[in-house]
Chain A
Amino acid sequence: MTETTKNIPVIELRGLKKRFGIGDAEHFALDGIDLTINSGEFIAIMGPSGCGKTTLLNILGLLDRSTEGDYILDGREISTISARRQAYIRSHQIGFIFQSFNLIPRLSVIENVALPLTYKGILRTARLKIASRILHNFHLGEREYYMPSQLSGGQTQRVAIARALVNEPSIILADEPTGNLDSRSSHVIMEELSDLHKRGNTIIMVTHNPRLTSYATRVITMLDGKINTDTKGIEDEMAPFVNAWSANVKKHKKVKLIRQWGKRRHKSRATLVSSGRRKK
């Protein structure tokens, strides 16, 4: 990845607000977000429940509209773009990975993966070819004609990632991609995302799990609809963790937690190396 691609802002948010409810029930899920995301960043968004992470992700993914503020994607102001055009951007530029996988249960694995290509107007045979190729990359070649219900959680999420990647999006939005998985499967999934990041994709991931922030190049923590901390650089590995939890964790517990985290992290990495997944 060259310096030039790294510093082009793909996403710019200025004073973004999202209001739910009216009158007494009025509540700002997002309360003035200013954020610039450059191409090729791997961003982890953390924060307690209800702080607006998912809402932010939905707005970034053009599934939702902000109440106030500007969202500029690739230099275009989103509020001026028609719904049809937004769907076009979703199908060409954005890949979604959900916590609950969201595969369509009545379609087979390969049909699920080929689904985004449908809306790009690619013919069936070509669609299935592309989907098959990407499933092979994810070591799911033998599962092509399984139904989603016949897969394990980790496999399902890999299918979901394959689906998010099949239309070669430049931006990948992941909403707690490992939320439903055990730690082993989580790391497999994170390795996949990490690979994608290395290939130059912009990844924005919402997570509850501070251990996963080690894969990110930038960690943003949110609180009550606002950005709390914004930490760049993978060099200071402790910083994101400390920042993320400092607001909620009492000081005397902090040290203990950091120690635990360090140990666990070391262990899980070691497992992965020994299983051979990281050698390729």
Chain B
Amino acid sequence: MRFLLINHLQNARQSLRSNRMRSFLTMLGVTIGVASITVILSLSSGASKIVSNQVDSLGGNITIVRPGSPQNLSTDLTRIKAQQNYSASSLTEYDFGLIKNINHVAATAPLIIMNGTIKANSIAPSDSAIVATTPDLAVISDLTVQTGQFLDPTINQNTVVIGPQLAINIFGTDQAIGKNLTIHGKTFTVIGVLRRANNPINYNSVDFDNAAIIGLDAGKQLGLGQPQIQQIDVRSDSVANLAQVIVDINKSLSLSHSGENDFSVLSGNQIAQPTSQLFFALAGVTTAIAAISLLVGGIGIMNIMLVNVAERTREIGIRKALGANNGDIAAQFMIESIAIGIGGGICGYIFGYIVAFGISTFLTFQPAINWQIAGVAVFISVIMGTVFGLYPALRASRKDPIESLREYN
């Protein structure tokens, strides 16, 4: 292409400048599309980064067992399956026992998340969680108590450890040691209040700031029949042994489930993936909206480029008469549309982050800033400029010079 690239760039800049309003509006379409993509990506990767940071900070020797086969963690919107709450969990207390006895397992804790009312001076908000587990959870999930102590098998099982927010919600203070509350009509004594962790998004899918944690046996006695284990957290004694532990868990659970692959053992980044189907659904819908706005923006580019070509038909004729070949003309318009794309992309990237940081003031995590998102934004905008600029550019390059010169200016 000889040295024409710089010339085309200057030319594009000049032509875009001479139609400021039009260029701005065209870019706006791309901007909105790229901005929404940026928001989705930065927030979702910010969320999963939080979880993976937690997993990393716990030493990288955590694995979790969830009911349901691994394939069910799909992002396919058309095959959303029912929430775990409504179906019987495939994990049983027997499985928990098996895992506990595997070599190199340092600690393991099942999570039984129950529905029910927590009542004391006032009734807790319905989003408060009731979790039945074993004392090992404190070790695995790095839960620390602010006052009092964590669950202990040696003391009375009708005791509860509550999160600071729950304490404030039902007692009006986080100094709740020794006070009584009722869960499912059964009275428990508060023996500990957790330190505020402020991370509602974690791999346990429980906001411990707003949860009541009771012992496994007490949970079973709440009269809910077979305990529904949502998740079993496992910690190996060292990072090196984690792989072996995962293999062993798979092996022994497979055996006890008579070969049925109705559980999944997750580790590392798999844990960090958001588990909620709703999250996927939301991300899917927003992505679809972003895709539509990108499509509309792209059609806008094509439309404006066609207008540009029609407006400059005479110029095309002149340029051809002065020695431009078809490629030169195509490149000139192509670069202009790519410039619109990239311009819109950069604006969208910046605007997207402004929106994402705006949204994150209502959330407990920050949007992630990484080169992948920037790469995606630039890639999308270049692709848009190219794809939607191609037809107008080809049209321009194929114009007959004589017809073009005859065009009324």
Contact = CB atoms under 8 A, between A and B. Distances in A.
Interface of A: 58, 61, 63-64, 83-84, 87-88, 90-92, 94, 96, 98, 100, 102-107, 115-116, 118-124, 163, 167
B4 A116 contact: no
Interface stretch (B20-28, B230-238, B315-323, B347-355): B315-323
A102 B3 contact: no
Contact of B321 (A83, A96, A118, A122): A96
Main secondary structure of the interface of B (DSSP, over half): helix
B18 A106 contact: yes
Contact of B3 (A96, A100, A105, A123): A123
Given A83-B326, A102-B314, A102-B405, A61 B321 contact: yes
Contact of A90 (B15, B314, B323): B323
Q: Which of B319, B322, B327 has the most CB of A within 10 A?
A: B322
Contact of B10 (A90, A103, A124): A124
B85 interface: no
23 contacts: A58-B402, A61-B321, A63-B405, A87-B328, A88-B325, A90-B321, A90-B323, A91-B323, A96-B321, A102-B314, A102-B318, A102-B405, A104-B319, A106-B15, A106-B18, A115-B319, A116-B323, A118-B324, A119-B4, A119-B323, A119-B324, A121-B2, A122-B3
Contacts of B4: 118-119, 121
Contacts of A116: 322-323
A96 B322 contact: yes
Interface residues of B, number: 27
A90 B322 contact: yes
Interface string B2-46: 111011001000110010000000000000000000000000000
A87 B320 contact: yes
Nearest to B324: A119
Contacts of A83: 325-326
Given A87-B325, A118-B4, 19 more contacts: A61-B321, A63-B402, A87-B326, A90-B322, A92-B323, A96-B321, A98-B405, A100-B409, A102-B314, A102-B317, A102-B318, A118-B7, A119-B4, A119-B319, A119-B323, A120-B323, A121-B3, A123-B6, A124-B7
B148 interface: no
Contacts of A163: 322
A107 B7 CA distance: 13
Contacts of A87: 320, 323-326, 328
A159 to B, nearest CB: 13
B401 interface: yes
A91 B6 contact: no
Contacts of A120: 323
A63 B321 contact: yes
Contacts of B321: 61, 63, 90, 96, 98, 102
A106 B207 CA distance: 63
A120 B405 CA distance: 21
A123 B6 CA distance: 9
Nearest 6 pairs of A and B residues by beta carbon: A91-B323, A87-B325, A121-B2, A119-B323, A116-B322, A90-B323
B334 to A, nearest CB: 16
Contacts of B2: 121
A148 B409 CA distance: 13
Interface string B136-178: 0000000000000000000000000000000000000000000
A91 B319 CA distance: 10
Contacts of B401: 63-64
A104 B402 contact: no
Q: Which of A92, A100, A119, A120 has the most CB of B within 10 A?
A: A119
Nearest to A59: B402
A94 B321 CA distance: 9
A96 B317 CA distance: 12
A225 to B, nearest CB: 16
Contacts of B10: 124
B399 to A, nearest CB: 12
A121 B2 CA distance: 6
Contacts of A105: 409
Contacts of B328: 87, 119
Contacts of A92: 323
B327 A84 contact: yes
Interface string B376-408: 000000000000000000000000011001000
B402 A167 contact: no
Nearest to B321: A96
Nearest to A105: B409
Interface in B272-326: 314-315, 317-326
B323 A104 contact: no
Contacts of A103: 318
Contacts of A106: 14-15, 18
B332 to A, nearest CB: 10
A121 B4 CA distance: 7
Q: Which of A91, A94, A100 has the most CB of B within 10 A?
A: A91
A96 B320 CA distance: 11
A84 B1 CA distance: 12
Interface in B192-225: none
A118 to B, nearest CB: 5
A103 B405 CA distance: 11
A84 B325 contact: yes
Contacts of A123: 3, 6
B405 to A, nearest CB: 7
